[in-house]
Structure 1
């Protein structure tokens, strides 16, 4: 099964004031494994998951060229190898630090927050220095030229980021809370800084900046949704044990709870599985002590559903009488079992967070699940229109099987339409800012015309 799908996965709905960022479902490059001889800089690069966005499919590590699809156009990641002609080989340590933590390159160009400098800004001076040393001395230089990002007006005006940064970007570095334990502080640094979990899991305001009043309370990622990971026992992960959280971060799988797909699968594959036990435990400890935030769920996401006996009662019926079940029986039951309980290789569909939300369920069916952990590939093929080796289901068929799965194994209050499926395939709901931007150019033209008419009218009166 191909490892890359061109649409659907959103790593960070965090183009902040300008961009809703939508990436591919699968990762772009295999993460580098770590051993006892790995340098501090390499460990930091893995924890920050730099390779995922800065490596094009089939390309050299960190050589850029990875296309990031957004409602305002395609953004191409840059070459961050130490190439002196195409990469960052001429950057000084200070210039490197400014680019990573403040989003400004040596020539004054402002980066779009698709590069999560808003989180990296919390990195310590020593970590930035180690990261710089790694990229300059351990990464192979690649002279692949950068592909130009050319967005439509007004998003093409990078200088507009000056105003956005003034409003929403903090240059404050991480400062440990003396009232918290060293483990909690380490988790805070990872979640809200180096590993930038907050980038995906914090909702956004109208200008696409992180909503500081609801940290880690969940956010839309285009086709996917990054759930609430505060300590609330219903809306968040408060009902998880520390060991369960560590296992999930390490493998992307916890029986009776959840399986990582989309952007989370990529984070597990390329970054989280390589973190030390101490760091993963620190993340879990920090999350379990966060302020609980309720976001309206009736019960915990992993508590929905039960086994079904439909295989016995519905077999032989007409497809039009229960189209969702017929698709499930013919396409899904072979792996997930006719009653939905799964087996050692394929997860149960009930007690599974994927069936608690319709958007993530749709995205899973359309794009599949792809992650590699410990050298073992975990793959569920996608069944959308672009499927290569599986049944190709149209939007209505995906809606039918989604509704069946939700009604039997998940949140039966969720109902999916063909239009919902089409929206997921197209990258998810558009950010309000992106919708308003469509009227920017016509508004500017209208204002110019009105000003012109006003000037012409006054001149005629004065004639």
Structure 2
């Protein structure tokens, strides 16, 4: 696949609370030098710039659109602008917005803002973060774009009930039975860096399922995998050095490459964390309770090199359409046998070919991340592709099935309908499906009440 360095066309995906899918281009976080303030380091670790910067916009000026099944949610301006941002916030008001999702005027934020994780942040870290935004971030007077979800999600007051059920105001407390390193990792994974918001499955009301922490969750078109210590379903077979390398670069030879939302996390946040923090995250993940989620083999163990180039060349395209697409579109970069090279990864022993959803999303949207100033880029081949061959849903299904059969989990089968679903944002959240019946149900109830009242009147007459 020809390489295209075009970071501006990257697609980001995020998931937290009610929001299940987001497409956006975000400003790159500035590299942290030795003189960076504590507040700036915290903002980078929390990846604030990613969701609060619109495509082509000023850092932290808001306007980033989060496309969810509930409607489009727009991030707010968090620069110290006194007319459009948070310049008038007191330290206490800032803390309440970040940790409890409530603004000074009483507006309840949607959990697309991961306050359910930020709630664990310590008072001292909140104070440092407040100082950074008030004194180091440049004010931008860009007005906020209003979020207007359909009923019933438009009723923000409903968040009071949701928070009562699923939000805790308990701050992080170190576990005295565990090392300082593991406790630091816990604080990062489940608090400041909010890894848990993507990697924990969601319940019917789109809250984190606390019974399966870090066991994997849907991100719309993408899937954030199980990162517990289970050796098959999770990352228990990874070494500490491999976890650290993946967090810093998004690449571990023979195991995985970051794409989609994880690539964005690496690019804008994780690559800038210090060794101590990355090792702390690894230490914490390695001691988590292993959770099995049904995988037969570890995601990175599938596949082997193929000899199809020798045996299938010259055949009719209709006899093996997936291979013909692979040979003409993919083999140039990933090599005819799928083993890749120094620049492009192998397709076997690669977690991307272990799941159908992530494989489809990779083909449709491509891979885009920038690490240490170097762009790692694979173009997307979906209908919206700009500079590559556009593949239709059936063609993407064909090449996906070929890659799965030769290099990945051969039990996975992709249909054109599966591809269409990924392009449209992934499986519909049950809550969003149920919400479609809310207004009809209210109308039906009103009609029944009206008929009952009419009936009573006639009987009375």
Bin of the TM-score, shorter chain as denominator length: over 0.9
Preserved contact between residue 19 and residue 67 of structure 2 (Cα < 8 Å):
no
- Which range moved further: 252-261 or 449-458? 449-458
For residues 371-393 of structure 1, the C-alpha deviation after alignment (integer angstroms, 9 at most, x for no partner) is 00000000000000000000000
User: Which residue of structure 2 lines up, in the alignment, with residue 236 of structure 1?
Assistant: 234
| CA distance 1:16–1:30, change in 2 (3 Å) | closer
| CA distance 1:10–1:180, change in 2 (3 Å) | farther
| CA distance 1:462–1:4, change in 2 (3 Å) | farther
- Which range moved further: 452-461 or 53-62? 452-461
The alpha carbon displacement at 1:339 in A equals 0.2
Runs of at least 5 residues in structure 1 that lack an aligned partner in the other structure: none
User: Which residue of structure 2 lines up, in the alignment, with residue 293 of structure 1?
Assistant: 291
Preserved contact between residue 7 and residue 425 of structure 1 (Cα < 8 Å):
no
For residues 425-447 of structure 1, the C-alpha deviation after alignment (integer angstroms, 9 at most, x for no partner) is 00000111110000000000100
- CA distance in structure 1 between the aligned counterparts of 2:11 and 2:203, rounded to whole angstroms: 18
- CA distance in structure 2 between the aligned counterparts of 1:7 and 1:60, rounded to whole angstroms: 17
- CA distance in structure 1 between the aligned counterparts of 2:371 and 2:255, rounded to whole angstroms: 18
The alpha carbon displacement at 1:456 in A equals 1.2
The alpha carbon displacement at 1:13 in A equals 9.1
Preserved contact between residue 262 and residue 369 of structure 1 (Cα < 8 Å):
yes
Preserved contact between residue 12 and residue 264 of structure 2 (Cα < 8 Å):
no
| CA distance 1:10–1:177, change in 2 (3 Å) | farther
Preserved contact between residue 17 and residue 114 of structure 2 (Cα < 8 Å):
no
Preserved contact between residue 18 and residue 112 of structure 2 (Cα < 8 Å):
no
- CA distance in structure 2 between the aligned counterparts of 1:8 and 1:171, rounded to whole angstroms: 38
Preserved contact between residue 5 and residue 377 of structure 2 (Cα < 8 Å):
no
| CA distance 1:95–1:117, change in 2 (3 Å) | same
For residues 389-437 of structure 1, the C-alpha deviation after alignment (integer angstroms, 9 at most, x for no partner) is 0000000000000000000000000000000000000000011111000
Preserved contact between residue 201 and residue 226 of structure 1 (Cα < 8 Å):
yes
The alpha carbon displacement at 1:19 in A equals 4.0
For residues 208-228 of structure 1, the C-alpha deviation after alignment (integer angstroms, 9 at most, x for no partner) is 111111000000110000000
Preserved contact between residue 201 and residue 218 of structure 2 (Cα < 8 Å):
yes
- CA distance in structure 2 between the aligned counterparts of 1:95 and 1:3, rounded to whole angstroms: 47
User: Which residue of structure 1 lines up, in the alignment, with residue 51 of structure 2?
Assistant: 53
Report how many aligned residue pairs link the two structures.
Answer: 461
Runs of at least 5 residues in structure 2 that lack an aligned partner in the other structure: none
Preserved contact between residue 311 and residue 339 of structure 1 (Cα < 8 Å):
yes
| CA distance 1:173–1:12, change in 2 (3 Å) | farther
- CA distance in structure 2 between the aligned counterparts of 1:112 and 1:5, rounded to whole angstroms: 34
The alpha carbon displacement at 1:9 in A equals 12
- CA distance in structure 1 between the aligned counterparts of 2:129 and 2:261, rounded to whole angstroms: 24
| CA distance 1:448–1:385, change in 2 (3 Å) | same
Preserved contact between residue 243 and residue 282 of structure 2 (Cα < 8 Å):
yes
- CA distance in structure 2 between the aligned counterparts of 1:8 and 1:295, rounded to whole angstroms: 36
The alpha carbon displacement at 1:23 in A equals 3.4
The alpha carbon displacement at 1:245 in A equals 0.3
The alpha carbon displacement at 1:460 in A equals 1.4
Q: Root-mean-square deviation (CA), in Å?
A: 2.3
- CA distance in structure 1 between the aligned counterparts of 2:16 and 2:243, rounded to whole angstroms: 28
- CA distance in structure 2 between the aligned counterparts of 1:154 and 1:10, rounded to whole angstroms: 32
Preserved contact between residue 8 and residue 426 of structure 1 (Cα < 8 Å):
no
